[in-house]
Amino acid sequence: MADGAPYTISDLAESFDVTARTLRFYEDCGLLAPERHGRTRLYSERDRKRLRLVLRGRRLGFSLEEIKEMLDIHYARPGEVSSPDVMRARIAAHRARLVQGREDAVIALDWLDALEGRLDRLAPREARRAVAGRMG
Amino acid sequence: MADGAPYTISDLAESFDVTARTLRFYEDCGLLAPERHGRTRLYSERDRKRLRLVLRGRRLGFSLEEIKEMLDIHYARPGEVSSPDVMRARIAAHRARLVQGREDAVIALDWLDALEGRLDRLAPREARRAVAGRMG
DNA sequence: TGTTTAGTTAACGTAAACGTAAATTTTTCA
DNA sequence: TGAAAAATTTACGTTTACGTTAACTAAACA
């Protein structure tokens, strides 16, 4: 009881727009660890949350290994906190990368704005809304 | 005249913390196109700027091909603006990705903060400043 | 009860982004 | 000018993150 609907591999794959292969691969990497009914994988809400974190990390440009590292810290039990100083250093590195990424993104967005503006001047947009009227 | 100091490949490699191989590879990809003095590559300020953009794109998680696409738009001459609608669509896609990345980064930073806080509670930091005194 | 329809493991394939080694100029500088 | 240092091309190797069969099993359904 109180399980909250387990997902099949294709359920999860579809809802996150990844392939089943990807989910199995993430399992090989230690990123996911779904239960099994016989051989068949059954994904819980917890697995969904982990997957969400994994995909976010991926979008942020972290490697799967880095993502695993972060998840390992995130899900570490009190007794399992080995070498916290190393972990703190890694967290600091991750943070630095994220901050750098945000700065880069701001600049890149401005750049894209300028780019689009230039495009508009060089090749003005069609007035799509005005097709029906005039000129007829 | 008015050239402004050309850089050798190792100059540029060192100042951007990449290898010479990387610069040659970027050239193969069409991302850079330095002049040649005989066979030797000579990088200008313009090349420096392009490289800066390339590396920023890389940090943002764009593929070299996507980066090339953006640079091609950026450096397109008026006459060369082919299919501006396609370009606008690509720019929109790039922008969407950057915006998504920023949102993810904000969440991830909060997450890292929480993670570090938890680490601090589970394994308090050493009081580094107090080494010299006491206990002696 | 046969046959689609998922799901599984195992294994090889691949694209991107370089690394690395070899063999060959080119440049520099004592 | 001649040897060491730096640059070049060519080409094969490597890692990451999956894609793609293949061969098999379990489940569901007409």
pLDDT in tens, B54-97: 999 999 999 999 999 999 888 888 777 778 888 899 899 999 99
Helix segments in chain B, DSSP class H: 9-16, 20-28, 45-59, 64-74, 84-122
For chain A, helix (H) and strand (E) counts, in that order, are 5, 2
- pLDDT for the residue B13: 97
- CB B39 under 7 Å to nucleic chain D: yes
Domain A1-61, second-level architecture: Orthogonal Bundle (1.10)
| CB-contacted nucleotides of strand C (7 Å) | 6-9, 16-20, 25-27
- Closest C-alpha among A90, A70, A118, A106 to residue B60: A106
| Residues of chain A contacting B70 with CB distance shorter than 8 Å | 112, 115
pLDDT digits (tens, 9 = 90+) for A65-75: 999 999 988 88
Nucleotides of D under 7 A from a protein CB: 6-10, 16-20, 26-27
Q: What are the domain boundaries of chain A?
A: 1-61, 76-124
Cβ-based contacts of B82 with chain A (< 8 Å): none
DSSP lists the bridge partners of residue A37 as A40
Mean pLDDT, to the nearest integer, of A20-42? 96
Would the pLDDT of A132 be above 80?
no
**Helix, coil or strand: residue A4:** coil
Q: What does CATH list as the number for B1-62?
A: 1.10.1660.10
More confident residue, A136 or B20: B20
- Range in A67-71, B19-23, B111-115, B132-136 with the lowest mean pLDDT: B132-136
